[in-house]
């Protein structure tokens, strides 16, 4: 640092951090710890520690395939976020020093990053503009039945009774994925006939867990064994059957409560990316700018509705609308 930059001797060089092989593009301080993170044209992200007398390199994070443009610490989690001219944003676990999540754009290089000071939002600038995003969803996975709300919080299935206003933990749910990754529970479906739960997440590219709840009221300290499988969406379609959307094979699988596949069929549209319950043996299938009412038994389309991409479907009590 040139002391003339601030006029006279107002600033003095305290540390010189050497380690990058090419030009350094960005460096950020940790908000509370004596840590610095830097990114450079050598495609590396470096973590540094300092004290009153010296600064030294702690580790190097490798994975970017082009110049690292910007890098920063997450304000509330042990994460580092970096972006690059390789058209990606990478999320790194600080404790494990490994990548846990990657966001990509097809044509745009990333140049800048900023974190909101109070809420869970990040912004990134790229060749075509900017994006604002979250690392993890904050809306809990939930389902309702009668006066009861089933939802997942802090690795527990909890049950809230609207009538009594009582909120109690029921069972422990295994957390999938690593810290900071967007792999928490995404959807939850409750089957009152069999007292069963279906939970989906984005772990492993899309996966589900099937739980049969204990008949006796639990206190949250039990973890019933889950039956697991791969699929981006899973919903109950009958008392003892559920449907799984497998995008990898572009099929809808029908499974029993032993998690055995009993039937497979093609979705009504090749670009189907989500399925929703639409009555016994029926599904609403989302694809691009429409939803399709699909009869699984007959493998036929009953109706279509053109609409922008939907996220949630709520039916009235008699399933008429």
Domain endpoint, select from 133, 152, 180? 133
Q: Does 316 fall in a domain?
A: no
Q: Does 312 fall in a domain?
A: no
Burial class (CB in 10 A: 0-12, 13-18, 19+), 270: exposed
Q: Does 317 fall in a domain?
A: no
pLDDT of residue 320: 78
Same domain, 129 and 149: no
pLDDT of residue 221: 60
Mean pLDDT of 302-313: 89
Say how many domains are in the chain.
Answer: 2
Same domain, 286 and 217: yes
Which residue, 173, 141, 174, 144, is CA-closest to 161? 144
Domain endpoint, select from 74, 109, 133? 133
Same domain, 211 and 151: yes
Q: Does 228 fall in a domain?
A: yes
Mean pLDDT of 1-20: 73
Any idea which of 7-11, 119-123, 181-185 has the lowest mean pLDDT? 7-11
Residue 195: partners with Cβ closer than 8 Å, 6 or more residues away: 212, 213, 215
- Check whether 95 has a pLDDT greater than 50: yes
Local structure of residue 246 (DSSP, 8 states): E
- Can you give the residue range of the structural domain that contains 295? 142-306
Round to whole Å and give the CA distance between 142 and 140.
6
Same domain, 39 and 166: no
Q: Does 42 fall in a domain?
A: yes
**CATH number of the domain to which 14 belongs:** 2.130.10.10
Same domain, 129 and 153: no
Same domain, 32 and 162: no
| pTM of full prediction above 0.75 | no
Round to whole Å and give the CA distance between 78 and 74.
7
Instruction: Determine the Cα angle at 321 with ends 278 and 290, to 5°.
Output: 65
pLDDT in tens, 181-231: 566 788 999 999 999 999 998 878 889 999 998 876 555 566 788 899 999
Same domain, 72 and 163: no
Confidence of residue 180 (pLDDT cuts 50, 70, 90): very low
Same domain, 151 and 127: no
Same domain, 177 and 224: yes
Which residue, 143, 317, 140, is CA-closest to 213? 143
Same domain, 82 and 190: no
Mean pLDDT of 299-314: 89
pLDDT in tens, 261-300: 999 999 999 899 999 999 999 999 998 889 999 999 999 9
Q: Does 217 fall in a domain?
A: yes
Same domain, 61 and 154: no
Any idea which of 31-45, 165-179, 288-302 has the lowest mean pLDDT? 165-179
Same domain, 15 and 57: yes
Any idea which of 71-75, 136-140, 275-279 has the lowest mean pLDDT? 136-140
């Amino acid at each position: 640092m040139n002391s003339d930059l601030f006029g006279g001797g107002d600033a003095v060089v305290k540390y010189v951090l050497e380690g990058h092989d090419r030009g350094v593009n960005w460096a950020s301080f940790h908000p509370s710890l004596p840590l610095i993170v830097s990114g450079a044209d050598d495609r590396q992200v470096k973590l540094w520690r300092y004290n009153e007398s010296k600064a030294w390199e702690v580790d190097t994070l490798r994975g970017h395939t082009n110049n690292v443009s910007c890098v920063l610490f997450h304000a509330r989690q042990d994460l580092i976020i970096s972006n690059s001219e390789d058209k990606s944003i990478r999320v790194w676990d600080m404790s494990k020093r490994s990548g846990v999540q990657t966001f990509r754009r097809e044509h745009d290089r990333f140049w800048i990053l900023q974190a909101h000071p109070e809420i869970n939002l990040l912004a990134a600038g790229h060749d075509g503009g900017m994006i604002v995003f979250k690392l993890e969803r904050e809306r809990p996975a939930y389902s309702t039945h009668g006066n009861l709300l089933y939802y997942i919080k802090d690795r527990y299935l909890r049950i809230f009774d609207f009538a009594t206003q009582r909120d109690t933990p029921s069972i422990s749910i295994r957390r999938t994925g690593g810290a900071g990754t967007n792999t928490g529970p995404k959807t939850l479906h409750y089957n009152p006939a069999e007292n069963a739960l279906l939970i989906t997440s984005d772990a492993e590219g899309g996966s589900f867990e099937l739980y049969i709840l204990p008949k006796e009221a639990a206190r949250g300290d039990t973890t019933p064994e889950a039956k697991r499988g791969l699929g981006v969406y899973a919903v109950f379609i009958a008392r003892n059957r559920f449907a799984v959307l497998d995008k990898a094979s572009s099929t809808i699988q029908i499974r029993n409560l032993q998690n055995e596949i009993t039937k497979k069929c093609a979705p009504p549209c090749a670009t189907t990316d989500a399925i929703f319950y639409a009555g016994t043996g029926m599904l609403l299938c989302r694809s691009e700018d429409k939803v399709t009412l699909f009869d699984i038994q007959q493998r036929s389309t009953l109706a279509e509705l053109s609409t922008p991409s939907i996220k949630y479907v709520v039916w009235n009590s008699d399933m008429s609308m």
